[in-house]
Amino acid sequence: MRRRPAAVAAAGVLALLVLLALTAPLLAQLTGQDPNAYHDDLVDSARGGVPIGSFGGISADHWLGVEPGTGRDLFTRLVYGARISLLVALGATAVQIFVGVSAGLAAALGNRFVGQLIGRFTDVMIALPMLVLGIALTAVVPPDFPRPLLLILIIGLLDWGGTARMVRAQTLALRDLDFVDAARLSGNGTLRIARRELLPSLAAPVITLAAVKVPTAMVAEASLSFLGVGVKPPTPSWGQMLSSAQTWFRADPTYVLLPAGLLFVTVLAFTVLGDAVRTALDPREGSRLRVGTRRERKG
């Protein structure tokens, strides 16, 4: 993967983003800004709350300007919003992988009735519209339930069908191979065979799928927050910022471009890195994005 410039750049972007998210409290102390502190003196009330100054009120105290209407520091809200986006995306992906791998193994290694039952249920989960169900579920959950945890559970438990289908297909191809037959003849049970023989062989496709699922989960979180059923104020979120920016895109384009640009760059970096991981773990597969293919042909 080090021979792929785009993959290295994507990994660097993600490492920087994770560093910013982890050090958000330190960055807030460095800038001397509270992400939830209002600054009415930094917005022009006569113009409806437009930030005073150029480019959304950028200054030495507010590195990326301030939020229209409230005057809250935009830089600190963006880095705190990165924590929510990454937490929800990684947590939801972990739930998807755990449930999908468990269901796929059970469908492939269980009896015919169990396999058919899990297979039909998986087909139903794949066909369900995740956003519509997510909106419905967030509407009936008590408002004091932690929203990041709720989003992790909703996205993770509604989007595991593709993982289960892939794991089932891979397991069906592996279970009749010689090393699995040898483990079965040695007296190992189904759970032991799955844990010690099949899971190591499934690691490469599962890791590849997880790298692709992370940006999908991040977009889902941003979509739910954009629709007003995700993270609730005053907790910052990129999707929530984009939702509130709808009324400000003419008066203050910076407020729209910053969270949208960060979301786009993050999803693109995860996509490029996931494609590079897939190609590295399975050299027979070519890169869908043509990441680093020119250098590989020269070598």
CA 178 – CA 184 distance, rounded (Å): 10
What confidence score (pLDDT) does residue 271 get? 85
pLDDT one-digit tens code per residue, 259-281: 889 989 998 998 888 888 877 77
Question: What average pLDDT does this structure show over 106-120?
Answer: 89
pLDDT one-digit tens code per residue, 143-153: 888 888 999 99
pLDDT at residue 17 above 80? yes
Question: What average pLDDT does this structure show over 95-107?
Answer: 93
What confidence score (pLDDT) does residue 215 get? 85
**List of residues 6+ apart from 20 with CB closer than 8 A:** 27, 79, 82
pLDDT at residue 287 above 60? no
What confidence score (pLDDT) does residue 297 get? 46
The number of CA neighbours under 13 Å toward the Cβ of 217 is 32
Q: Backbone phi, then psi, for 191, in 5-degree steps?
A: -65, -40
Burial of 297 (0-12, 13-18, 19+ CB in 10 A): exposed
CATH number of this structure's domain 5-298: 1.10.3720.10
What confidence score (pLDDT) does residue 120 get? 92
- Which of 122-131, 163-172, 173-182, 184-193 reaches the highest mean pLDDT? 163-172
Record the pTM. Answer: 0.82
Q: Which position has the higher pLDDT, 93 or 60? A: 93
Q: Which position has the higher pLDDT, 247 or 27? A: 27
pLDDT one-digit tens code per residue, 39-67: 888 888 777 788 888 787 888 888 888 88
What confidence score (pLDDT) does residue 284 get? 59
Report the chain's terminal Cα–Cα distance, integer Å. Answer: 14
Domain positions in the chain are 5-298
